[in-house]
Chains A and B, each alone.
Chain A
Amino acid sequence: MSTIDLLILASVVGSLVAILVFAVYYLTASKAESLSLTAKEEGYTDSNAYWREQLYGKPRPLTWSIFTYDDAKSIGLRYIFTSVVFLFIAGAFGVLMRVSLFDPNPVIIQPIIYNILMTQHATLMIYMFAIGAALGFGYYLLPTQLRLKRDNMGHWSSVAYWLWVLGGALFVLSRSSMRWYLYPPLSLQLTPTGAGTFNWLAIIAMELIFIGITMASIIVLKVIFIDRSDDITLSKMPIFAWSVVFTLIMLLSSDEPLMVGLGMLFYDFFNPVFFTGATSTPLTFAVLFWFWGHPIVYIAVIPYFGLMYDIITRFTKTPVYSYFSGVFSLGLLMILSELVWGHHLLNSGLGIDWVLFFTSASFVVVIPSALTIFNMIGTLWKAEKIRLTTPMMFVINAILDFIIGGVLGVMLANQSVNEVAHGTYFVTGHFHFIFVGLTLGVTMAVFYLLYPTFSNGRVYDERLAKWHLYITAFGSLLMSFSWTVGGYLGMPRSVAGYFAQFQPYQDSAIIGGVIIGIGQLVFLYNIAKSWLAQPTTDPYNILEYRTETNQEIGGGE
Chain B
Amino acid sequence: MASNKGGVTFALIIVLLVSVAFGYVLTSPTGGGLTYSNSPTKYTQYINLGADAAGWEYNYNTSDRNPVLNVQLSTLVYFNVTEEDGAPHNLYVAYDGSYSSTLFAKLVSDQKNNPKSIEGSNNYKVLSTSQITQTIGHKTQGKFPFVGSKMAGIYTYWCSVHYTTMVGLLIVNATSGSTSVVTPNVANGATPSHVNNQSTYSTSVSNVLLALETALKTVE
Contact = CB atoms under 8 A, between A and B. Distances in A.
Contact of A88 (B5, B18, B122): B18
Nearest to A520: B14
Contact of A113 (B10, B11, B28): B28
Given A120-B25, A185-B125, A532 B130 contact: no
B121 A191 contact: yes
Given A85-B14, A278-B129, A524-B14, A93 B25 contact: yes
B7 interface: yes
Given A175-B24, A524-B14, A192 B2 contact: no
A175 B24 CA distance: 8
Contact of A85 (B5, B13, B35, B124): B13
A229 B133 CA distance: 61
Contact of A273 (B25, B26, B88, B133): B88
Interface string B116-144: 00000111110011100111000000000
B199 to A, nearest CB: 31
Contacts of B177: none
B88 A192 contact: no
A198 to B, nearest CB: 9
A347 interface: no
A124 to B, nearest CB: 9
B60 to A, nearest CB: 19
Given A63-B1, A455-B7, A278 B121 contact: no
B129 A277 contact: yes
A533 B18 contact: no
Interface string B179-191: 0000000000000
Interface string B11-46: 101100110011011101111111100000000000
B30 A110 contact: yes
B2 A113 contact: no
Interface string A140-166: 000000000000000000000000000
B219 interface: no
A414 interface: no
Nearest to A185: B128
Contacts of B25: 93, 113, 116-117, 120, 172, 175
B130 A278 contact: yes
Interface in A263-295: 271-273, 276-278, 280-281
B132 to A, nearest CB: 8
B62 interface: no
Interface residues of A, number: 51
A59 to B, nearest CB: 12
Given A456-B2, A531-B5, A192 B121 contact: yes
Nearest to A271: B161
A533 B5 CA distance: 9
Contacts of A113: 25-26, 28, 30
Nearest to B130: A276
Nearest to A282: B130
Contact of B2 (A62, A84, A110, A189): A62
Contacts of B31: 192
Given A175-B24, A455-B6, A529-B7, A272 B128 contact: yes
B34 to A, nearest CB: 7
Contacts of B133: 278
B176 interface: no
A4 to B, nearest CB: 22
A527 B18 contact: no
A189 B125 contact: yes
Contacts of B30: 110, 112-113, 192
A116 B30 CA distance: 11
A456 B90 CA distance: 62
Contacts of A524: 11, 14
Contact of A527 (B2, B4, B10, B34): B10
A528 B7 contact: yes
Contacts of A194: 33
Given A175-B24, A271-B161, A64 B123 contact: no
Nearest to B34: A193
A85 to B, nearest CB: 6
Contact of B24 (A81, A92, A172, A197): A172
Contacts of A109: 26
A534 interface: yes
Contacts of A88: 14, 17-18
Nearest to B33: A193
Contacts of B161: 271
Nearest to B132: A278
A281 B4 CA distance: 57
24 contacts: A64-B1, A84-B14, A88-B14, A88-B18, A89-B21, A92-B18, A93-B25, A112-B28, A113-B25, A120-B25, A172-B21, A193-B33, A193-B124, A196-B28, A272-B88, A276-B130, A277-B88, A277-B129, A278-B133, A456-B2, A524-B11, A525-B11, A527-B11, A530-B7
Given A278-B134, A527-B7, 12 more contacts: A84-B14, A89-B18, A175-B28, A190-B121, A191-B33, A192-B31, A273-B88, A278-B129, A278-B130, A527-B11, A528-B10, A531-B7
Interface of A: 61-64, 81, 84-85, 88-89, 92-93, 96, 109-110, 112-113, 116-117, 120, 172-173, 175, 185, 189-194, 196-197, 271-273, 276-278, 280-281, 455-456, 524-525, 527-534
